Chain A
């Protein structure tokens, strides 16, 4: 007997769905059968450091910014998303296939290179491509399992960056996050949370920056005008190409000052959780 009213219980059930998704990650088929894949579930207050560390990166990288704002706004409204972190060990090959996909003739040469360069990329790397395939199949099964449960979800490289920076899943060398819920339509697609954050001018400028061919005038002269306004010829405007010290300075500041400051605040607490009990 019972009577459930409202949707708080749906919000709570997202966590149960996340457990089912973690199960799907472990059950996912592999090509090699030799890739270690793991999943963890993070929600509520434990999302705070993750949201915080995504902030400065989001300020300089739009897709991270959108993920950050969506997660933050949902959390602040009391509708915490649940994050399924999916990691794998991909930076060494124990296959002996010598297939060449990584760019080296042999797995031994790749492993020697990987030892020197491990974790040097924003999301990890270097990687054995067959192990990346295994990991990606597990990530895809996580997404498919979420859709099967009709929970709005999006797999986010931005969450992968935050998990890596903060030291989650220390034994895994590549990570990504699947954000789940809250229980409503279109949380992570079309993004209602982001309504009215972007002006018409920003949207239009984005299109001009990112899809320039649509806005290019006759290119035969070699330096085509850009059609950024109705009377685009008066006066004409041209796209400039060159090194941007301003952009690079901001990027350096985010990656090597702001992110480490946030990581220092939270990392030891997270590290403690992975310490083996005596």
Chain B
């Protein structure tokens, strides 16, 4: 077997730290999270599904600009519904604080239902609730008109939505096993779907993933969209710089010292 020099070149070092953000050491850390997200997606694909039918697709998104785009879309959606406003704005912060986003969607819930007559969608003994509300011919759903005044173009086959839940559950179980932080979000899913991620899906769930000293998805404070680490750091830059300019001494000639207290050696 021919051996190449690079086969023998197995030594090196990798310095990893979450500080400062987007530095080489931070990006190395993020690459580990990317591997975790890939394994989470594999786990999502092996979850138990009704009838064992393949219906899950995944989309892995990472990078500063990409996450910013998702965060802004979440913020846009937040302002469309008073109920969503505050929690979704908090979740946009969490998106920016994430390393990778895993989108998981179901490709069949809007087009090719389970057709088992389970009734989960509309509470009737057949699939009529779904088909009567869709444009379809002999059970073939026409999905070419993708315009909808609703965020999600329902109704959906709820059995297939259940399959999506199993997939997301397996992804989250894998995240727990790998000790990376992850949480499933409706807001991120809807934002991802509007941005075209999981393009064949009728419903999408967003699962941001992170490996940082503080889990980005828990223990948030009130007004989190206004008071968070990014804002605190930016505020430090704002305040500290100004604090410097309102004093004056040439450190080469004189530096102010604390006043000696009485009894202290001269």
Residues of A within 8 A of B (CB): 28-29, 31-32, 91, 95-105, 113-114, 117-127, 129-130, 132-141, 143-144, 154-155, 157, 174
Contact of A137 with B168 in the complex, beta carbons under 8 Å: yes
Contact of B123 with A125 in the complex, beta carbons under 8 Å: yes
Given contacts A102-B155, A132-B162, contact A126 B186 (CB under 8 A): no
In the assembled complex, which residues on chain B have CB atoms less than 8 Å from the CB atom of A127? 120-121, 158
Contact of B120 with A123 in the complex, beta carbons under 8 Å: yes
Q: Tell me the bound Cα distance from A98 to B10 in angstroms.
A: 56
> A132 contacts which of B84, B123, B161, B184 (Cβ < 8 Å)?
B161
> B169 contacts which of A114, A125, A126, A144 (Cβ < 8 Å)?
A144
> A100 contacts which of B83, B150, B161 (Cβ < 8 Å)?
B150
B180 at the interface (CB under 8 A from A): no
B37 at the interface (CB under 8 A from A): no
Q: Tell me the bound Cα distance from A130 to B185 in angstroms.
A: 10
Q: Tell me the bound Cα distance from A126 to B124 in angstroms.
A: 8
Q: Tell me the bound Cα distance from A100 to B117 in angstroms.
A: 21
In the assembled complex, which residues on chain B have CB atoms less than 8 Å from the CB atom of A133? 161-162, 164-165, 168, 184, 205
> B203 contacts which of A32, A123, A129, A137 (Cβ < 8 Å)?
A129
Given contacts A99-B190, A137-B165, contact A125 B119 (CB under 8 A): yes
In the assembled complex, which residues on chain A have CB atoms less than 8 Å from the CB atom of B185? 31
In the assembled complex, which residues on chain A have CB atoms less than 8 Å from the CB atom of B151? 97-101
Using CB atoms, name the residue of chain A closest to B166.
A140
Taking A96-B81, A101-B161, A103-B154 as given, write out 8 further A-B residue pairs in contact, using a Cβ cutoff of 8 Å, ordered by the A residue number: A103-B122, A103-B156, A105-B149, A117-B123, A120-B119, A121-B124, A125-B121, A126-B120
Chain B: number of interface residues, binned into ranges: 35 or more
Contact of B154 with A101 in the complex, beta carbons under 8 Å: yes
Given contacts A101-B154, A137-B168, A141-B169, contact A122 B84 (CB under 8 A): no
Given contacts A31-B186, A132-B161, contact A124 B152 (CB under 8 A): no
> Using an 8 Å CB-CB cutoff, how does the interface string of B158-194 with A read, 1 for contact, 0 for none?
1001111111111011000000000111100010000
B 202-220 contacts with A by CB, 8 A: 203, 205
B27 at the interface (CB under 8 A from A): no
The 9 closest A-B pairs by CB, nearest first: A121-B119, A136-B165, A100-B150, A140-B169, A103-B155, A117-B123, A120-B123, A137-B169, A125-B123
Given contacts A130-B186, A155-B48, contact A120 B165 (CB under 8 A): no
Given contacts A129-B156, A140-B169, contact A100 B148 (CB under 8 A): yes
Using CB atoms, name the residue of chain A closest to B165.
A136
Contact of A114 with B163 in the complex, beta carbons under 8 Å: no
Between-chain CB contacts (< 8 Å), 14 pairs: A99-B186, A101-B151, A103-B154, A104-B154, A105-B149, A122-B118, A122-B119, A127-B121, A129-B152, A133-B168, A137-B184, A139-B165, A140-B47, A143-B48
Contact of A31 with B184 in the complex, beta carbons under 8 Å: yes
Q: Tell me the bound Cα distance from A97 to B156 in angstroms.
A: 16
Q: Tell me the bound Cα distance from A138 to B47 in angstroms.
A: 12
B237 at the interface (CB under 8 A from A): no
> A28 contacts which of B81, B125, B169, B183 (Cβ < 8 Å)?
B169
Q: Tell me the bound Cα distance from A167 to B148 in angstroms.
A: 39
In the assembled complex, which residues on chain B have CB atoms less than 8 Å from the CB atom of A144? 169-170, 173
Using CB atoms, name the residue of chain B closest to A174.
B120
Contact of A124 with B205 in the complex, beta carbons under 8 Å: no
In this complex, the member of A31, A98, A104, A126 whose beta carbon has the largest number of chain B beta carbons within 10 angstroms is A31
Q: Tell me the bound Cα distance from A104 to B155 in angstroms.
A: 8
Q: Tell me the bound Cα distance from A123 to B127 in angstroms.
A: 12
In the assembled complex, which residues on chain B have CB atoms less than 8 Å from the CB atom of A105? 149-150
Q: Tell me the bound Cα distance from A118 to B176 in angstroms.
A: 36
B16 at the interface (CB under 8 A from A): no
Using CB atoms, name the residue of chain B closest to A142.
B169
Using CB atoms, name the residue of chain A closest to B173.
A144
In the assembled complex, which residues on chain A have CB atoms less than 8 Å from the CB atom of B148? 100
